Chain A
Amino acid sequence: AQSVTQLDSHVSVSEGTPVLLRCNYSSSYSPSLFWYVQHPNKGLQLLLKYTSAATLVKGINGFEAEFKKSETSFHLTKPSAHMSDAAEYFCASYTGRRALTFGSGTRLQVQP
């Protein structure tokens, strides 16, 4: 079975500075990994998904994630934070139970 661990419950950055949200996965086979964003009182929006076609995955709103098998990581990055990026971010993977399981979430705060 797979699971994901988000290493930071809260990250605060200044507007215009880089964003790094960390996610590690544990898996005994090829993982299915995703990043979702949730704004207050909204559902979850898919940012990007990992496929074996590329280890660097580009998503919406300028976000990227790099799959590193040697580190079992799938960290989310963005070169320059915008105020509208403030939200809750979830890393997710499929478990052997056929349904998506989420990490505990990272709250991104963007300071002006």
Chain B
Amino acid sequence: DTEVTQTPKHLVMGMTNKKSLKCEQHMGHRAMYWYKQKAKKPPELMFVYSYEKLSINESVPSRFSPECPNSSLLNLHLHALQPEDSALYLCASSQDLWDRVHMEGNSPLHFGNGTRLTVT
């Protein structure tokens, strides 16, 4: 079982809907991430939060809106999505950002099982 919990596991939404993906971890990690994974492709980074502040936004369209209400929770709010946004959305956490840890191999990411999103 993963220590990073994502809900829901599956989500089908229309292009006019508003929905949210949720992620929770209780490992005391201070960095949290959203990745997007299309079929047969590697995960692609979307957002990074460090100490509840947005650290990296990989030029993600504004129809994706992240939120980090506290150190254990990470949300991804979805609005007016397109069919090409259908993908597996993965949440991950790590002890801290890699360059704060200062030791190679010391900040592995722990992933949830993802939310399978289908936009119709």
Interface residues of A (CB under 8 A from B): 30-34, 36, 41-46, 49-52, 90, 94, 97-105
Contact = CB atoms under 8 A, between A and B. Distances in A.
B90 A44 contact: yes
Interface of B: 2, 4, 6, 33, 40-43, 45, 48, 55-56, 88, 90, 92, 97-99, 103-114, 116
Contact of B56 (A51, A99, A104): A99
Give me the 4 closest cross-chain CB pairs, A-B, nearest first: A43-B111, A102-B42, A51-B105, A49-B105
Contact of B90 (A43, A46, A101): A43
Given A42-B113, A45-B111, A94-B98, A32 B104 contact: yes
B43 A32 contact: no
Given A32-B98, A49-B105, A102 B114 contact: no
Contacts of B114: 41-43
Q: Is the interface of A mostly helix, strand, loop or mixed?
A: loop
A50 B104 contact: yes
B105 A50 contact: yes
B42 A98 contact: no
Given A43-B4, A94-B98, A97-B56, A30 B104 contact: yes
A46 B99 CA distance: 19
Contacts of A97: 45, 56
A54 B42 CA distance: 27
B92 to A, nearest CB: 8
B23 to A, nearest CB: 11
A43 B105 contact: no
Contacts of B110: 46
